[in-house]
Chain A
Amino acid sequence: MQVSQKSKETFDACRFCWMCHHICPIGNATGHERNTARARALSLSLVERGGLALDEEVSSNLYECALCSGCAHDCITGWDPTKFTKESRLAAALEGVLPPYINTLLDNLADYGTPYGQVEENAELSKAIAALPKTADVLLFLGADARALYPAGALNAIALLKAAGVSFTVLQDEPTDAYASNFLIGAAEETRAAMKRASEAFAPFQTVVCYDGTDAAAFLREGKEWGVVNAHIVTFPAYVVSLIKDGKLAPKKGSTAYTIQDCAYIARELDDDTSIRTVIDAIGERREMLVSGKATMLGGQALMATYMADVIAKVGARRMREAVIAGAEVVVTENVGEYLALSAAAPQGVKVVTLEEAVLSCL
């Protein structure tokens, strides 16, 4: 199997370790033993030792990981299972043993530039984008999830930046495949090429604001690490904080209590669990779940919902239960996948909103 020495060392460390068994949002939702860092590591260590073949079964289990880094964050001795999972996904792709549903997503990426295939864009969103200036200092990068799955969120994001008087635009033809490619096949040539395309598209802009935390994490982490993405990229919550600080947005602080669902990718991978809190503190009361901030538990995942919808629904339901115990009335999210899964699981009396929706309601 073509994986790095570091990955081999990591799966050899994880294969007999149970310490992060409790933290995996997927394992917690399915109850399946295979959905643990340790079981995944055990299977890969056996592949490495010739005791198991790297086949569709082993590789499908690699795709049952959300790469949320919950396990890595919890690991006191610093092992990171997401690394070997991503590298093994690429190894499985190179060996031609990917599950068919992953091949479909990859085909979609190749054919349409998004994993969701040919989706007709929401007319209102198309209109709103078309009405924006063609050139501006700031690029709002909406991402595939918002454009295909939650155009209302994209419209709200546009509305918020307009309300702040920001000179910005949105690309009609966004290079939306980098995050998905990175999630599906890691550091493959295709991913690097997608990152490069994104980087070229970002070049004319001073600042790129990533609406969705998943895209932001891919650009800011891998994109930078590989030296492919040089643009000044900020997450949407961090940008909203700067707009409030600069006085461009002046939300009125109300009495609504917001329970925060941290985006794992922003909180852990980009090390930022403060932006969303700064915004919430400016608009209302903050309510925390017991497991939150950098230790957050995933509440949904848009890409995975295409091939394991029932599991992602359970992930959302479990997280929503925690929010309810924490007294949630309004849950505020930072990415589309979590917004969708949590909204679907919300009981009567609990509302789920995206960050921009929350801020817009206070202007």
Chain B
Amino acid sequence: MTDFLFTMVLSELEDAVGRENCSTREIDKVAHSVDYFWLSRMWADRGYRMPEADVVVSPKDAKETSAVLKIANYYKIPVVVWGAGGGTQGGAIPVAGGIVLDTKRMNAIHDFNEQGMYIECGTGAIYKHLEWEANQRGYATMHYPSSLTCSTVGGFLAHRGIGVSSTKYGKIDDMVLQMEVVLPNGDIIYTSPAPKHAAGPDLNQIFIGSEGTLGVITKAQMRIFEQPESRKFRGFLFHNMTDAFNAGRELLQKFKPSVMRLYDEAETSSLIKKIVGVAKPGAFMNIAIEGVAELVEVEEKILLSTFAKYGAEDLGSEYGEKWWKEKITFFYPGNMMDLPQMFGTMDSIAPYGKIEKIYWEMKKAIETNFPQAKFIAHFSHWYEWGAMIYDRFIVEGKDVPTDPHEALRLHNDIWNLGVRTAIQHGGVVNDHHGVGIKLGRLMKEQYGSAMQVFYGLKKELDPNGIMNPFKLGL
């Protein structure tokens, strides 16, 4: 684009969102170029600049967002939505330049609806602020990802995020009522006023998980819950993971705990030992039960009797409480994996009967083909029918190539192998971190000809392909 035309476009964007909310400054471009994706961090660590936007805009509402998208569509400029950049898949990185649309000015709380039990907010609100809003009035959001303080409502929706209490309260896609979405052509639409209905396919679920490729979610009604009267923790040590899976599956046919987390032997003897203090060998599992005190009492009895059948050692409440207190401590620099290490979380999900096999197959594949990589895992979100695996590979700094391009290749080779192994054994490409630029290529391997449904949506809604190009395999 010529300098003249660029300046013309810029003045249109400034007209749309206000000059102070439209930036071509290097500091803003840099701030929006590195997200939580390991490759972007590695690139910056080596002193290289990641792809940057040509302009960063911060609209204040759907109307301004619409104006930006109309301009972008006319000039066919890529638009990348940026929430807080806490995504791990490079989803918010402007790989093709263009406009970065930062949603954080849309962070207002519009309605605290106690009757309907939801908060209506701009999607640029950091989720922790929603939690504060709820807590101030005696409620809770019950969406407790480790990134509660790092990421926006829109980011969680766009990535299909999940929190630690998901077994009882659901994933982000269970926590939303109505949404306001700005389509790539600038039209502002609303999904159905209630999330359960028989008025055709669920519009919410088309945009949830679409990672900014089909439009911008600008407002959402997020559910709130009453604070539980009682919350009890119980830690267990299983002899092996098979017993733990069987126990967990059986428990879930009886009632739903809020937290269910099973750590493999490797993670039990590393992270859990370090942060929670469990020093014995085995697979640690932490369970939280919460709600009305009377029910919690009964559920606790069921939990103890069910797990006893599978030979679990009852470690009491201490470790679980410690874990709850420290649940985000794991993620601070100093406790978390960091450069020069190479690492990644290859989360997948599958029904019982497949999930444990996926674990062993992924472990075998990674450790045999990449002996320099360590493989650890836990299983943190459980359903009546299956569970997710949160497995990580870690390569120590000394084994990471110094040339960033070579490091990128090794990174992608490990990912390809890990995710392909999961898919091959009945797992899904990702559980809750999304796809982004990191896993786009593997979407086709997951869905095969079903991809045409996504292509169709993309083509119809975004014929100029301006929205978040090269993400989600679209």
Contacts and interface: CB of A to CB of B under 8 A. Distances in A.
A and B: partners?
A: yes
Interface of A: 13-23, 27-28, 30-34, 36, 39, 42-43, 45-46, 49-52, 55, 57-58, 60-61, 74-79, 290-291, 322, 325-326
Contacts of A21: 84, 86, 126, 149-151
B104 A50 contact: no
Contact of B31 (A23, A42, A326): A42
B238 interface: no
A31 B36 CA distance: 19
Given A18-B86, A46-B30, A31 B128 contact: no
Interface string B25-54: 111101110101000010011111100000
Contact of A43 (B30, B85, B331): B30
26 contacts: A15-B34, A16-B41, A17-B332, A18-B85, A19-B328, A21-B84, A21-B86, A21-B150, A22-B129, A22-B148, A22-B149, A23-B149, A33-B31, A36-B31, A39-B31, A42-B30, A45-B45, A49-B47, A52-B26, A57-B25, A74-B149, A76-B328, A76-B329, A77-B335, A290-B132, A290-B135
A30 to B, nearest CB: 8
Nearest to B326: A76
Among all A-B residue pairs, the 3 with the closest Cβ atoms: A49-B47, A18-B150, A31-B104
Given A18-B85, A33-B84, A51-B49, A58 B27 contact: yes
Contacts of A22: 126, 128-129, 148-150
Given A33-B102, A325-B137, 4 more contacts: A16-B41, A32-B31, A33-B82, A51-B48
Nearest to A74: B149
Interface string B46-70: 1111000000101000000000000
Contacts of B86: 18, 21
Interface of B: 25-28, 30-32, 34, 36, 41, 44-49, 56, 58, 82, 84-86, 102, 104-107, 124, 126, 128-129, 132-133, 135-137, 147-151, 328-329, 331-335, 338-339
Contacts of A79: 333
A216 B334 CA distance: 33
Nearest to B56: A33
A2 B338 CA distance: 25
Contacts of B46: 49
A19 B48 contact: no
B332 A75 contact: yes
Contacts of A57: 25-27
B30 A32 contact: no
Contacts of A28: 107, 126, 129
Nearest to B129: A22
A42 B44 contact: yes
B85 A13 contact: no
Nearest to A18: B150
A50 B56 CA distance: 23
Nearest to A57: B27
Given A18-B36, A43-B30, A77 B332 contact: yes
Given A13-B333, A46-B49, A77-B332, A31 B137 contact: no
A49 B43 CA distance: 11
B334 A19 contact: no
Contacts of A30: 105
Given A43-B31, A46-B49, A79-B333, A31 B102 contact: yes
A325 B136 contact: yes
A197 to B, nearest CB: 35
A291 B129 CA distance: 11
Nearest to B146: A19
Contacts of B137: 325
A307 to B, nearest CB: 14
Contacts of A290: 132, 135-136
A50 B44 CA distance: 11
Contact of A16 (B25, B32, B84, B338): B338
Query: Which residue among B30, B82, B85, B151 has the maximum number of chain A CB atoms within 10 Å of its CB?
Result: B30
A19 B137 CA distance: 24
Nearest to A20: B149
A32 B332 contact: no
B374 to A, nearest CB: 20
B107 A18 contact: no
Nearest to B47: A49
A19 B32 contact: no
Nearest to B37: A16
Nearest to A59: B27
Nearest to A53: B26
Contacts of B45: 45, 49
B122 to A, nearest CB: 9
